[in-house]
Structure 1
Amino acid sequence: MKKKRMRILAVVLAMFMLMLIGRIAYIQLVSTESFSKHDVNLIEASVNQRSQILKIDDGRGKFYDRNGIPLAHEEIPTLVLFPFLNKMNWPIDQVASIIGRTEWELRQSIAEAKDPFVFGGDDPIELTLDQSKAINELKIPGVFAVNEKLYHDQIPAAQLIGTTNISDAEKKKRYPDMQLSADTKIGNTGLQRTFDEFLLSDGESKLVFHVDASGGPMFGVDVKYVEPANPLYPVKVITTIDKSIQEEAEKLVDERGIEKGGLVLIDIEKSEIVAMVSRPALNKKDPNGEGAINTMLTQKTPGSVFKTVTAAAVIDYEAASPTRTFDCDKTIEGEADKQRELGRLNFENSFAQSCNRTFAELSKEIAVKDPDFLDKYAEMLGLVGQSGWQGDVYHTAVTQLYHEQKGKVWHDEQLKKDPKMIAKTSIGQQDVQTTPLAIANMMATIARGGKKEQVKAVSKVEFDNGTTVVDFPTQTMAGDTVKPYTAMKLQHLLRKVVTEVKGTGASLKNLPVEVAGKSGTAQTNIEKGELNKWFAGYFPYENPKYALVTVNFETNESSSSMTPLFSDIVNVLYSKDQNIREN
């Protein structure tokens, strides 16, 4: 009996040992790169445990402005020091002399360090090219001059650039066939999301030093520089943003107290976004909060800016002769307008002074001939649908702008039969919704003489060596557009808004360049008295270069119009252009 129990115990122990050996073999040979439900890379973890590592670059692609200047990061030549220097004799005096610091500062920083670090901490010293070269020529183990990429809490065009995350669930959902480490970032919003497949890391760049349990050298004092196996990565996404203009625009928006709103600035010739400011600002501590929404790509009620669409139809249908006048002392319902008594105005002056009554009457007349005319002309001027660049890249559909909303004119087609609804819609109220980007692109379309083009936020993607991965050519928008004659007449009307003494843009008359544009005030919440205030236009008038929209959402009657901010941006661009000419 005793022998039997011993045999059973021996079998159980043998089975236990086999299971243990099998488990160890599975861990060591099979799941080394994806252990447990958390997909832990055991090889990587083992290396990290016996190494001191300083990450230089996470390997994810980077964003640059149109001039090649980094947008979301800075590349700064810095001094990197390793803790094991504390146990060595090294020419500290030479390093101190090169960087212009004392030996005591260097010794103190190393004495307090447990890991490799950038000298200077949060305020690292920025080395010159000569200093970097001199330090690296010394070939001191544990002392390096490297270009480190520093990321800022606040970046220009934050909502346009977007955010990243490291969600394992999202990685598996989006890239089921790829083995991505726990630290690999993927795009969450903005261009980070739409260009994520280009931007994905192909490996980190880092300095690695192997240590023993006491932190001393395991294999001598050789520090290795590890970089991605593919020298073409990380890629560079060259945006159309001008960083200096973008930063100035953000400053001016904040100085004008815009809490909800912002601006869009388009290069008319290239059909590119030069600056885009969206408020509320993005809060990195709450990346999915209200500030994550790009309000310049979000549907809003345009108000009288939409009269530009109605005006195009009036021109084509020859609905208003030069001698015909309208009673602009009345509202669109025909009642006395005690807030805005403008007298009797012809069509041109009605546009300049933004008389609602004129557009209400004319739109009802045109609707009898063509009930769909507002839809048609809104589409011709690019307010229906999306304005951002879309196309095929390597047989894959690419949409540059993340979550760009589509504009619309009618919520219910049956409302086209109601003259009151037609009147409200003709002045950009009722159901009319469009994005600030689309309004800016409408102005660019008119300035080009009716040529309607998609708007780019990215001009090309480059490999790390500067060769082009893909570029994005200028593309026309689908559908009909307004005739050159109609565009010319609209240009005249938009200019008159500024030149007319009582025009809603008369305050822009004395700018250093001639401006054309249209104001808009849209009621969004009558009970709270909330308004959307707009000014959209282009400049210079004779040789158009920029289209610009400035807007303040959910504001009130007491707040300033948008012409002061529009004026600010015009002056900034004029000053920059003058400096370029002089230099």
Structure 2
Amino acid sequence: MKIRKRMTWVSILISAALLFLLIRLAEIQLFFTESFSKRNVNLIQESVKQRTEEVQISDGRGSFLDRNGEHLSVSQKPAIVLFPFLKKQPWPIEEASDILNMSEAELNEKLEKAKKPVILTKNEEKTFSKTALEKINQLKYPGIYGVYIEETEKNRLASHTIGMTNQDPDLLRSKYPHKDGLSISTKIGTFGMERTFDEFLLPEQDTKLLYHVDGLGNPLFGMDVKYTADANPFYPLQIKTTIDKQVQQSLEDVLNEHKLQKGGAVLLDIENSSVLAIASKPDLNMASQKTRQNYMMTPMYPGSVFKTVIAAAAIENGLDHPSKTFNCNLNLYGEPGEDKGKLNLADSFAESCNYTFTNLAGQLVEKNSSIIEDTAQKLGLTERVGWEGKLYHQDHFRQFYHEVTGSIWGDERDKKIKKAVAQTAIGQKNVKLTPLEIANMMATIARGGEKKQVKVADQIEYKNGTMMTTFKDQKLSGEMIDSFTAQKLQKLLRKVVTSDKGTGRRFSDLPFDVAGKSGTAQTGRQSKDKKTLYHKWFAGYFPADKPKYALAVVHMDTPDGKAATNAAFYDIVKKVYEIEKNQT
């Protein structure tokens, strides 16, 4: 009796297990073939992949162009594709050998070892010519093809701003729950403009050469190699940026040459407040989260560059009389510690006298407690300066990824503390601004006070080059400094370079006349050998008489005397001059 019961239970369990397996098999093969599991895996698609050998020519994702239409995010490499089944039958190896300038033995060797399609990109360190690809295709023999393979640039220019893509199925499904055609292997923008513009860059269909194989790797259906491509002339889309590829390369080369390891530079076109070049250091390493920080959009201590704001407030409130002098033998707290003598506002700005600006800040705050932040706002320093507006269904589309706004005060009570006001006046305490904001401030002054949002993308184009939408120039909201104040600031910034004792006198022999302001900010940190670390700045615009470019360079966490800031600023201006000269 007991044995019969046990047999009954065993039968029930086996039946239940078989039923479960049957249901599971039905789910896999009948009911959820295109959306299996929580990740909605397309099982049909994935099973076909297992039986397919393919060469991807393009993943179908949209790309980024510079302002002249040159590719920034991808490169097109000429290549010859040889499929493994060629080794099992006669093929025109003699003709291919002559065209490719490779021996028959070399071609046979590559095929003999191949289990997957062989991709040849060069011969004797030379890339294949367009003519070679055309001649190979004229053979019209299945299994050998000349193609241009599109590859994502691994060491792309402006990498922190353009960003990168990666496979992230969870992010993909959370962002696009209704796009059922997307494979879980589809790459998605994870940061930078790749992330902000991701919706416009998603692939419609990739382009590839493929053939189906049996279990032994032999081709099914004979030697039928298929070419799959999206025939749509409009997709994928392309984002035309405002970046100039040649200028960008030169700027990055300069930073590397001067070993600027942390910080970076941003160069703006003043007329329309657009990014010509932008680079953040250290270089991007996809394996490290730390290197993904874009310091050009990260608030940091600006040091004496912030004296530009105090000078603007002093001018607007009539505290800039040329006959009024300040005792620059005193330090920022009004105590003995400097030896610059008595200077008026213009000379104090040129020589970066701390006492003058802490004295002025004290007078200004006493008169109006919000005057410093109000003036900073007029110069575009307390709000996001990147382009923001309506783009199709998005009411607040932002071109820049994770742009952070600057700040002036950390605590309202600091306005009543003399030392806190003094530290704020020279860009310390709680003053933190981004290099992008500071470059835009210089552009604002150069334009006579007109505030504009900064663009890094000019338009979105269809694949055939026609325009889908454009990003119009937009003004920053709020009050502006008047043209009279801007003119006075322009003179102060120019004197920094022309004065014999000016902190920017090094730039006086450049082919472009430069106007700008230096800055040295204490970070509160020390190096391993106990040296005090600083943020070293120079920000300005050029040519001074007819401004076209605004530039901010910062070397972060550097010991005094070791900064590459001035050398980098100098060489970037020189490179821009040379490029402009060659273009005319």
TM-score range, shorter chain: over 0.9
Determine the C-alpha separation between the residues in 2 that align with 1:12 and 1:320.
Answer: 93
Determine the C-alpha separation between the residues in 2 that align with 1:122 and 1:482.
Answer: 61
Q: In structure 2, what is the equivalent of residue 307 of structure 1?
A: 307
**Structure 1's 172 and 272: CA in aligned 2 closer, same or farther, altered over 3 A?**
same
Q: Provide structure 2 residue ranges, at least 5 long, that are not aligned to the other structure.
A: none
Determine the C-alpha separation between the residues in 2 that align with 1:122 and 1:184.
Answer: 32
In the TM superposition, residue 11 of structure 1 has moved relative to its aligned partner by 9.2
Determine the C-alpha separation between the residues in 1 that align with 2:563 and 2:393.
Answer: 48
Q: Secondary structure at the match of 1:485?
A: helix
Determine the C-alpha separation between the residues in 2 that align with 1:565 and 1:8.
Answer: 82
Q: In structure 1, what is the equivalent of residue 373 of structure 2?
A: 375
* Greater mean deviation of Cα atoms: 445-454 or 115-124: 115-124
Determine the C-alpha separation between the residues in 2 that align with 1:371 and 1:15.
Answer: 78
* Greater mean deviation of Cα atoms: 267-276 or 431-440: 267-276
Q: In structure 1, what is the equivalent of residue 499 of structure 2?
A: 500
In the TM superposition, residue 272 of structure 1 has moved relative to its aligned partner by 1.1
Q: In structure 2, what is the equivalent of residue 273 of structure 1?
A: 275
Tell me, yes or no, if structure 1 residue 427 matches structure 2 residue 430.
no
Q: Secondary structure at the match of 1:188?
A: strand
Determine the C-alpha separation between the residues in 2 that align with 1:451 and 1:191.
Answer: 27
In the TM superposition, residue 48 of structure 1 has moved relative to its aligned partner by 1.9
Spell out the pairing of 1:187-336 with structure 2 (5 A cutoff): 187-228=189-230, 230-286=232-288, 288=289, 290-336=290-336
Aligned AA (1:48):
K
Determine the C-alpha separation between the residues in 2 that align with 1:494 and 1:270.
Answer: 21
Determine the C-alpha separation between the residues in 2 that align with 1:150 and 1:306.
Answer: 43
Q: Secondary structure at the match of 1:264?
A: strand
**Structure 1's 124 and 391: CA in aligned 2 closer, same or farther, altered over 3 A?**
farther
In the TM superposition, residue 14 of structure 1 has moved relative to its aligned partner by 7.8
Tell me, yes or no, if structure 1 residue 546 matches structure 2 residue 555.
no
Aligned AA (2:425):
S
Q: 1:395-423, CA deviations, whole angstroms, 9 ceiling, x for partnerless residues?
A: 30211111111011111112112233222
Aligned residues with identical type, % of pairs: 45
Q: Secondary structure at the match of 2:49?
A: helix
Q: Secondary structure at the match of 1:488?
A: helix
Q: Provide structure 1 residue ranges, at least 5 long, that are not aligned to the other structure.
A: none
Aligned AA (2:208):
K
Aligned AA (1:304):
S
Aligned AA (1:437):
L
Q: Secondary structure at the match of 2:568?
A: helix
Q: In structure 1, what is the equivalent of residue 111 of structure 2?
A: 110
* Greater mean deviation of Cα atoms: 392-401 or 436-445: 392-401
Q: Secondary structure at the match of 2:203?
A: coil
Determine the C-alpha separation between the residues in 2 that align with 1:484 and 1:123.
Answer: 62
**TM-score normalized by the length of structure 1:** 0.94
In the TM superposition, residue 110 of structure 1 has moved relative to its aligned partner by 1.4
**TM-score normalized by the length of structure 2:** 0.93
Determine the C-alpha separation between the residues in 1 that align with 2:294 and 2:463.
Answer: 29
Determine the C-alpha separation between the residues in 1 that align with 2:123 and 2:229.
Answer: 24
* Greater mean deviation of Cα atoms: 10-19 or 446-455: 10-19
**Which of 559, 562, 567 pairs up with 1:556?**
559
C-alpha root-mean-square deviation of aligned residues, in Å? Answer: 2.4
Determine the C-alpha separation between the residues in 2 that align with 1:427 and 1:6.
Answer: 88
**Structure 1's 301 and 11: CA in aligned 2 closer, same or farther, altered over 3 A?**
closer
Q: Secondary structure at the match of 1:509?
A: helix
Q: Does structure 2 conserve the Cα–Cα contact (< 8 Å) formed by 1:153 and 1:284?
A: no
Q: Does structure 2 conserve the Cα–Cα contact (< 8 Å) formed by 1:271 and 1:455?
A: yes
**Which of 533, 536, 556 pairs up with 2:536?**
533
Q: 1:88-145, CA deviations, whole angstroms, 9 ceiling, x for partnerless residues?
A: 2111222222222222222211111111131148998633332222221221101111
In the TM superposition, residue 536 of structure 1 has moved relative to its aligned partner by 0.3
Q: Does structure 2 conserve the Cα–Cα contact (< 8 Å) formed by 1:78 and 1:125?
A: no
Determine the C-alpha separation between the residues in 2 that align with 1:376 and 1:572.
Answer: 36
Q: Does structure 2 conserve the Cα–Cα contact (< 8 Å) formed by 1:203 and 1:229?
A: no
Determine the C-alpha separation between the residues in 2 that align with 1:266 and 1:12.
Answer: 73
Determine the C-alpha separation between the residues in 2 that align with 1:64 and 1:505.
Answer: 35
Q: In structure 2, what is the equivalent of residue 514 of structure 1?
A: 513
Q: Does structure 1 conserve the Cα–Cα contact (< 8 Å) formed by 2:258 and 2:564?
A: no
Q: 1:276-309, CA deviations, whole angstroms, 9 ceiling, x for partnerless residues?
A: 11111111232x2x21000010010001101111
Determine the C-alpha separation between the residues in 2 that align with 1:5 and 1:264.
Answer: 79
Q: How many residues align structurally?
A: 577
Spell out the pairing of 1:136-147 with structure 2 (5 A cutoff): 136-147=137-148
Q: In structure 1, what is the equivalent of residue 351 of structure 2?
A: 353
* Greater mean deviation of Cα atoms: 560-569 or 511-520: 560-569
Spell out the pairing of 1:151-170 with structure 2 (5 A cutoff): 151-170=152-171
Determine the C-alpha separation between the residues in 2 that align with 1:567 and 1:87.
Answer: 62
Aligned AA (2:69):
G
Determine the C-alpha separation between the residues in 1 that align with 2:11 and 2:126.
Answer: 67
Determine the C-alpha separation between the residues in 2 that align with 1:367 and 1:17.
Answer: 82
Determine the C-alpha separation between the residues in 1 that align with 2:558 and 2:403.
Answer: 23
**Structure 1's 561 and 506: CA in aligned 2 closer, same or farther, altered over 3 A?**
farther
Aligned AA (2:416):
K
Q: Does structure 2 conserve the Cα–Cα contact (< 8 Å) formed by 1:159 and 1:292?
A: yes
Tell me, yes or no, if structure 1 residue 418 matches structure 2 residue 417.
yes
